[in-house]
Structure 1
Amino acid sequence: MAESIDYRAAGVDLDTYEETMAQLPPLLKRTYPLTPARVIEWKDGFAGLFRLDAKIGLLTRTYRDPVLVASTDGVGTKLKLAFATGRHATVGIDLVAMSVNDCLCAGAEPLLFLDYVAMSKDDPKLTRDVVQGISDGCIEAECALLGGETAILPDFYKAGEYDLAGFCLGVVERKHVLDGKEIRPGDKVIGLASSGLHSNGYSLARKIALDAAGLQPDTFVPELGRSVADEFLEPTRIYVRAMKTVYRHYRVKRIVHGIAHITGGGLVDNTPRILPEGCSVRLRRGSWEVPKVFPWLQKLGNVPEAEMDRVFNMGIGLVMVVADYYADAIARYVTSEAKIPAWVIGEVVAGDRTVEWA
């Protein structure tokens, strides 16, 4: 008689999977107070439930013609650093940030988040570490971690490796959707500080630091004052509270004309995406503080300035295009109240949807 083969022999242990799943509900529920009376619990359900009620004010507003805004993203090869170091508690924050910050660009308030975690073998501790980070990110973004999927795919990923995907849903009043149409020459460009590399350009950063320079993740770098891993695993900044700070100060006036999330492609590729025809932006080098990691990587890899500009955020994680009169005040509010450094870094000029440097 042939030997009996079960699911465990094929690489999936259902008992371990149940152990993993049992520890996740508290990480979801800790995000629910951020969206009071909106999450409807469905015990053992197949999906998450979120209540939309016209009487509930969001972003201090009551929505009359709400538009749902959705975005999805991953973390990319930044995960390679997590694998190499065994440090998995912050990549979940990156996952939330990449999608949530995209929703902000439409003028939306993030409502809920879903995650997808795929790995080759069930690992309760690893899964908890990752989802803990996702939960922390949702608290920072003030949205509910409504649910997700943990997929065990034997032979699909290398042992100890995994992949992440995230999905964010937000809402904005239709007349307040930021589509860039109100941007005009004379508007000012405000840059909000990044926390470092965020989650873009890691293929180049790893190539320079780990391959070409031969550094190890735990190598201390004097120019940075920390190890390679500490710098490279710094979580992506989430800008929800910064935007809420701005909206609180200007509840009637529409002074924000456009928002761009500075990801892969940097300022030169992402900023023009929100510009209408006939407009360009002129940015002033030296008008913001560039984190030490960027000149360090540039020197270490002998990277041309134009390449740095297109691959990395260079210290600006989010751009706001605002009415000229309010620009200085907005930068002050974000810096003092949201605790995120912000600078007026340029202005909108007549042009063909490009970035000019001054």
Structure 2
Amino acid sequence: MGPLHKMPDRDIRLDACRGIALWFVFINHIPGNICSWLTLSHYGFSDTTEVFMFVSGLTCTMAYGHVFRSAGTWATICHTVRRIWEIYSAFLLLTLFLVVAVHWMDADLADEANVAIVLQKPGEALSRAAILQYRPVNTDVLPTFVLFHLLFAPWLLLLLRWPNAALAASALLYGLVQTYGWNFRGWPTNDWYFNPFAWQFLVTIGGWWAVVGHGRLAPFVMSRPAIMLSAAYLIWSLAVTMSWINPALELVVPQFLKALVYPIDKSDLDPLRLLHFLALAVCVANLAPAHWSVMRSRMLLGAVRCGENSLEIYCVGVLLSLAAYLVLRTISDGMLAQVIVSGTGIALLTVFATLLTGFAGLAAPRIRLL
């Protein structure tokens, strides 16, 4: 296969899935939120992180692949460098905003937001943040994406020329991480929460699917055996996760199975989490076809807009989740209050994403004043 693989056109399902994932991330970032039962995290081994990583790998490969085919290698490198700067700047600004927000809203949140170290050692903490070693709460995914984009141009070239070799190399690295636990060190303690050596595999799977996978595996993904196997795995995963909160169900899970399955590690993308996401993806692909009219309805338009502005919505969502938690702590943490706060946050994210999309259309072509 040459470098000019025919890749699929942009699929509105990708933005819709990414937008819904961002809503779920916001909900899950509010501690003790009853609305988290509406998200994926309680019903299986994987959660919205897997959705976000896979869709990002797929959409980035499609976008940068078109740039590579039309403008060449250097243009692709320039696009990835610009995106690195955008994500890196967003991470640093979000870190500063979290520190300022905690300082002004409630200093008691400093430990929970993991910004107490900044208030104690501002110089060292901000220096560590600049080299991606220090990360406040809920910002861990951004440094991982900075690293992914840093390596994206050479990775994309390999993927376009030798897609199967790229997938095999990625799988080998993933397997070595599961065996030896390779990771980057964080500061002041612990490793990177989203281990780049492990999560790169899911990003690569998304990219491989965009390049050749959709043509080769689509018949299998849509086949009855694939659907039945995926559904069976999802049901088994649901039963196991329900046993974590129901003592009666926990007694039913055999001891040998617990020893075999646990722990299901998120940081290193446990194989059971990976399989759960792939099974979920198979079912979604069959239940929501590409030209499904619901995807273009008003009901999902807000999710599509959020998916189109994923970086900005993620950052704003982190700040909103902190504000929501403070509201619940100071006013009321009842079930109704949690529902109202969660719904208001999603509405604000949707309005903000819609405004961003509108501004982007009005601002093109951009006028540079400096």
TM-score clears 0.5: no
Q: If each structure's strand is expressed as a fraction of its own residues, which one has the higher value?
A: 1
TM-score range, shorter-chain basis? under 0.3
Q: If each structure's helix is expressed as a fraction of its own residues, which one has the higher value?
A: 2
| Bigger RCO of structures 1 and 2 (CA < 8 A, at least 6 apart) | 2
TM-score, normalised to structure 2, is 0.26
